[in-house]
Amino acid sequence: MSDPSVPKCPFLDPTAASPHAEAAELRVQGPAVLVELPGRVRAWSVTRHSVIQALTTDPRVSRDFRRHWPGMADVPDGWVLGSVAFQDSLVNRYGEEHRRARGRIAPSFMPRRVKLMRPQVQAMADQLVAALGALAPGECADLRSALARPLTMTVICDLFGVPEERRERLGALIDRALDSSMAEDAALAVQNELYERLGELAAHKRANPGADLTSDLLLSDRPGEQPLAEHELVGTLFTMIAAGFETAVNLISSAALELLTHPEQLARLRAGTIDWTDVIEETLRVEGPVMYVPLRYALEDIDLGEGVLIAKGAPIMVGFAAAGRDPQEHPDRPDEFDPTRADKSHLAFGHGPHFCVGAPLARLEAEVALSTLFERLPELALAEPGQRPARLPSLVVNGPEAVEVVPRPRSAPVTPG
Inter-residue contact 236 to 89 (CB < 8 Å): yes
Beta partners for residue 315, in sequence order: 297
Task: State the Cα–Cα distance between residues 293 and 358, nearest whole angstrom.
Answer: 16
Q: Is 238 in the site for ligand HEM (CB under 6 A)?
A: no
Q: Give the footprint of ligand HEM on residues 112-171 (CB under 6 A).
A: none
> How far separated are the first and last CA of the chain, in Å rounded?
73
Three-class DSSP labels, 49-118: HHHHHHHHCCCCEECCHHHHCHHHHHCCCCCCCHHHHCCCCHHHCCHHHHHHHHHHHHHHHCHHHHHCCH
Inter-residue contact 52 to 284 (CB < 8 Å): no
Inter-residue contact 406 to 383 (CB < 8 Å): yes
Q: Is 358 in the site for ligand HEM (CB under 6 A)?
A: yes
Task: State the Cα–Cα distance between residues 398 and 16, nearest whole angstrom.
Answer: 8
Q: Is 251 in the site for ligand HEM (CB under 6 A)?
A: yes
**Least distance (Å) between residue 173 CB and ligand HEM:** 18
Q: Is 357 in the site for ligand HEM (CB under 6 A)?
A: yes
Q: Which of 37, 61, 90, 121 binds ligand HEM (CB under 6 A)?
A: 90
Binding range to ligand HEM, per CB under 6 A, among 131-139, 205-213, 269-277, 287-295 = 287-295
Other C-beta atoms lying within 10 Å of the C-beta of residue 244:
24
Q: Is 102 in the site for ligand HEM (CB under 6 A)?
A: yes
Q: Is 361 in the site for ligand HEM (CB under 6 A)?
A: yes
User: What x/- string results for residues 322 through 351 when contact with ligand HEM is judged by CB under 6 A?
Assistant: --------------------------xxx-
Binding range to ligand HEM, per CB under 6 A, among 120-128, 172-180, 244-252, 258-266 = 244-252
Region of 312 (left: φ > 0; alpha: ψ -120 to 50; beta: rest) is beta
Residue 181 CB partners (closer than 8 Å, separation 6+): 14, 15, 16, 80, 393, 394
Binding range to ligand HEM, per CB under 6 A, among 4-12, 133-141, 214-222, 238-246 = 238-246
Q: What is the DSSP letter of 353?
A: G
| Residue 311 burial class via C-beta count within 10 angstroms: exposed 0-12, middle 13-18, buried 19 and up | exposed
Q: Which of 191, 214, 247, 394 binds ligand HEM (CB under 6 A)?
A: 247
Side chain identity, residue 308: V
Tell me how many degrees the CA angle 297-303-309 measures, rounded to the nearest 5. Answer: 70
Q: Is 354 in the site for ligand HEM (CB under 6 A)?
A: yes
Q: Give the footprint of ligand HEM on residues 184-213 (CB under 6 A).
A: none
Nearest to ligand HEM of 236, 406 (CB atom): 236
**Least distance (Å) between residue 271 CB and ligand HEM:** 26
**Least distance (Å) between residue 99 CB and ligand HEM:** 9
Nearest to ligand HEM of 125, 362 (CB atom): 362
Q: Is 362 in the site for ligand HEM (CB under 6 A)?
A: yes
Q: Is 394 in the site for ligand HEM (CB under 6 A)?
A: no
**Least distance (Å) between residue 154 CB and ligand HEM:** 12
Binding residues for ligand HEM, total number by CB under 6 A: 26
Residues that bind ligand HEM (CB under 6 A): 56, 90-91, 102, 105, 109, 239-240, 243-244, 247-248, 251, 289-290, 293, 320, 348-350, 354, 356-358, 361-362
